[in-house]
Amino acid sequence: MAAAPPAPSSRAHRAALWTVFGLVHGLIILLCFTGPGWPLGDVEQVYRSWAEGGASGRFQVGIDTPFVYPILAFVPIILALAFGPALYAATWLGMVTLLDAVAFAVLLRRPGKAAPRAAWWWLGFLALLGPVALARIDAVTVPIVILALLLLATRPLWGAALLTIGTWLKVWPFAALAALVVVSRQRGRVLATAAGTSAVIVLIALILGSGLTVFSFVTEQTGRGIQIESPVGLVWMWQAALDLPGSFLYYDREILTFQVTGPGIDLAIALMTPLLALTVAAVLLLGWRAIRDGASFERLYPPLLLALVVTLIAVNKVGSPQFIGWLAAPVIFGLVLRPRAWRTPAVLVAVMAGMTQLLYPSLYDGLLTAEPLMVLLLTLRNLLEFVLLGWAIREVWRSPAADRRAGLPRPVPNPRTPILETDPHTPDPHSPDPKE
């Protein structure tokens, strides 16, 4: 039976959403070109130079020279050169807007009231986050991850493949893939899909002559210092703000970023990568314990994903404003599945986005001179990351008991069971409140 056409009110609602989508993206693009600071610095200076180097044959990042990002990141970087160097930034912004539009359209195709509300939240989040929502390589990965998450109910292996592609663009989507392996009852097929997709990507790079350079993004990341916006960097940011001797900010011309230095910095650099790995492992173990104890996918996967993404931001020596953009994917997915339960993280992440735009690009000069008020704003934003992490971990821990209180049977492993157990067109039966 064919689906009934949308009601006029529904069509008007979608038209309003698409209108605001265009307005928000138009405003962000305007800010990219005319706003304070240089929001397009990475795009116009760094990405374009990489693209021109590859197009001219002088050098190819990830193939014959080390690359700070996984190899697939070069694909959107070179595609933005399609209309020439003069239009590189405009092409980049148009490309990211198109990717957002694809994910937005898929989101709006979901029946019910939850998806449009999640779409409204996404638009507000983008407006609050500002230029870095479009003007970084991370902006390519966010709609890909959102699309992958929305496909898990009906096309789980396509979702896993998209998450793998996202990981080879920027490492953070690995969090969604790792959480899926832990929670899914099709983990063998998910792993096979991820391994097969990765093998194809690496094979193409090897054919192009990369050798081990295809994995250079791993060593490029581990060798970095403490960036000024990372939570751990606050130790030296406050020392610099208080004019304590030996602590100051500097620009690292090799990796093109602002970092901090001071007493004890080398020890912190050495400890942060192992600490990040251990924290990620601990969060995954919590997820494994929850799924073994009977938690459902719908209640466990979104907070587990959020916990992993926040961990990659909060327990990291690298800190950049665009990292906050990653949080859109788990929040949107949570709002789609359990909207009432996800009000708290939705508000927290929206506040963090607004604070981030103040930090960069609006008042970035004050942060670079370690003005105390700006360091205080950074401190509050980073503290909210740990509040969000605490909320997500609590939800992961409580998920089995919450399902038992809802009277749900303990799930029985079955390789034929879909990743998302419920029909995506029906309300979430795992919520104690049918309006959730």
Query: What's the pLDDT tens digit per position in 214-229?
Result: 999 988 877 789 999 9
Whether the link from the prior residue into 361 is cis, omega within 30° of 0, is yes
Annotated domain spans of the chain: 24-404
Mean pLDDT for 391-406 is 86
User: Do the beta carbons of residue 32 and residue 39 sit within 8 Å?
Assistant: yes
Q: How confident is the model at residue 94 (pLDDT cuts 50, 70, 90)?
A: very high
Whole-angstrom distance, CA of residue 251 vs CA of residue 249? 7
Question: Can you tell me whether residue 227 is helix, strand or coil?
Answer: strand
Q: Residue 249: which H helix or E strand, with range? A: strand 248-252
Whole-angstrom distance, CA of residue 103 vs CA of residue 107? 6
- Name the token pair of 180: 């899926």
pLDDT digits (tens, 9 = 90+) for 20-41: 999 999 999 999 999 999 999 9
- Name the token pair of 410: 């303990």
The CB-side HSE value for 11 (13 A sphere, CA atoms) comes to 5
In this structure, what DSSP letter does residue 65 have? B
Please report the pLDDT score of residue 29 as a whole number. 99
pLDDT of 304 higher than 90: yes
pLDDT of 414 higher than 50: no
CB atoms within 10 A of CB 46: 14
pLDDT digits (tens, 9 = 90+) for 318-366: 999 999 999 999 999 999 999 999 999 999 999 999 999 999 999 999 9
Q: How far apart are the first and last CA of the chain?
A: 29
Please report the pLDDT score of residue 256 as a whole number. 84
The CA-atom distances, in angstroms, between 189 and each of 174, 192, 278 are 16, 5, 26
Q: How confident is the model at residue 254 (pLDDT cuts 50, 70, 90)?
A: confident
Q: Is the dihedral of CA 201, 207, 210, 215 positive or negative?
A: positive
How many residues comprise the chain?
A: 436
Q: Kindly tell me the burial class for residue 120, based on how many C-beta atoms sit within 10 Å of its own C-beta (0-12, 13-18, 19 or more).
A: middle
- Nearest to 123, CA basis, from 31, 52, 19, 193: 19
User: Do the beta carbons of residue 356 and residue 381 sit within 8 Å?
Assistant: yes
Whole-angstrom distance, CA of residue 130 vs CA of residue 107? 21
Please report the pLDDT score of residue 406 as a whole number. 61
- Name the token pair of 73: 């990141």
User: Do the beta carbons of residue 357 and residue 27 sit within 8 Å?
Assistant: no
191-195 long-range CB contacts below 8 Å, 24 or more apart?
Answer: 193/157, 193/160, 193/161, 193/164, 194/160, 194/161, 194/163, 194/164
